[in-house]
Amino acid sequence: MSDYSASPLLLQAEGLKLRFGGIIAADGIDLSLHEGEHLAIIGPNGAGKTTFLNICTGYLRPQGGSVRFENREITAQPPRQITRLGIARAFQIPQLFAEQTVLENMLLAVSVRERHWNPLRNLHAVPERREMEGLLELVGCSDVRDRVASELPEGKRKLADIAIALALKPRVLLMDEPTSGVASADKFDVMETLMNALRQAKVSSVFVEHDMEMVSRYATRVAVWAQGKIQTTGAPEVVLNDPDVVRNVIGG
């Protein structure tokens, strides 16, 4: 497994603290992401992994600590601002706009990115249409381009959701269980397509994952999140064979 610590630092969380009532989600989280990395976060349910994604995208304000993106403080900035800086997000349940076609979803995203404010411009006439069709090709969704989002099979919905995130030209993509809900026979196909698309678009990623097979195949680094702390971090082949991790997280 190659070492990315020499490549530029993209995302850096330091000392994040957040508790909800009696539940401690984050109790001094330090986590960083370098360019080219695909960091998997694993850990027991309810440990705060999704909370981390929510803090990085500005939906939750940490009670302590900070998040920096490309050396710029983004803690508790508005989500929209953070999206514009280059952090995109894919949700556990894809957030496609249900009654629009896949292509229209893409065109909407790109017209927001390019700040198309001409109220008379037809959505289908935006100059980036070709670029969007290319992205759909990249994630293998060209065949469902003109289908209404709510009718798609789950695997395609996941991939279309990733394409929309990529339409925003992010540097980092945060994903919450990218293949959850996809039939198990298709999971690895979907993940393979997804990761290929990220590599080609040169987008680094952080993903929350429960499937250890997925983690060992696709993560360049793993962080174990439990009791509000990062218990350990390192290459998948090392972390996933760590007896402590096996006993506490994987073995359950």
Partner 1 sequence: MTPNFAVLALLDGIAYASLLFLVAVGLTLVFGVLGILNIAHGSLYAIGAYVAATLGQWLVANGYNPWLTFPALFAGATVVGIALGGMLERFLLQRIYKKDEVLQLLVTFAVFMILENLQRMIWGVQPYFMSTPLNLLGNISFLGINYTAYQVLFLPAAAIVVLFALRHFLRHTAIGAQILAVTEDREAATSIGINATRVYFMTFVIGACFAALGGALATPTTSLVTGMGANMIVLSFAVAATAGLGQIEGAAVSALMIGVARAFAVYLSPELEVIMPYLIMVLVLLVKPNGLFGKDTARKI
Q: Does 51 bind partner 1 (CB under 8 A)?
A: no
CB of 98 to partner 1, least distance (A): 7
By the rule CB under 8 A, 22 interacts with partner 1: no
Q: Does residue number 188 form part of the binding site for partner 1 (CB under 8 A)?
A: no
Minimum distance between the CB of residue 122 and partner 1, rounded to whole angstroms? 5
For residue 247, with 0-12 CB atoms within 10 Å meaning exposed, 13-18 middle and 19 or more buried, which class applies? Answer: exposed
Contact flag: residue 243 with partner 1 (CB under 8 A): no
Under rule CB under 8 A, residue 107 binds partner 1: yes
Q: Which is nearer to partner 1, 112 or 250 (CB)?
A: 112
83 near partner 1, rule: CB under 8 A: yes
Using CB under 8 A as the binding rule, whether residue 59 contacts partner 1 is answered as yes
Q: Is 164 one of the binding residues for partner 1 (CB under 8 A)?
A: yes
Give the nearest distance from C-beta 94 to partner 1 in angstroms. 9
3-state secondary structure of 118: coil
Pick the piece of the chain touching partner 1 (CB under 8 A) from 12-20, 97-105, 130-138, 244-252: 97-105
Residues in CB range of 217: below 8 A, 6 or more apart: 188, 191
| Cα gap 119→194, rounded to integer Å | 34
- How far is it, in rounded angstroms, from Cα 68 to Cα 42? 22
Among 15, 79, 127, 134, binds partner 1 (CB under 8 A): 79
Q: Which residues face 12 on adjacent strands?
A: 32, 68
C-alpha triplet 46, 177, 149: angle, nearest 5° = 125
Helix (H, G, I), strand (E, B) or coil at 171: coil
Beginning with the edge strand found earlier in the chain, give each strand of the sheet holding 72-73 in spatial order: 23-34, 9-20, 64-69, 72-73
177 touches partner 1 by CB under 8 A: no
Number of Cβ atoms within 10 Å of the Cβ of 192: 13
Site residues for partner 1 per CB under 8 A: 57, 59, 79-80, 83-84, 88-89, 91, 95, 97-100, 104, 107-109, 111-113, 116-124, 126, 164-165, 167-168
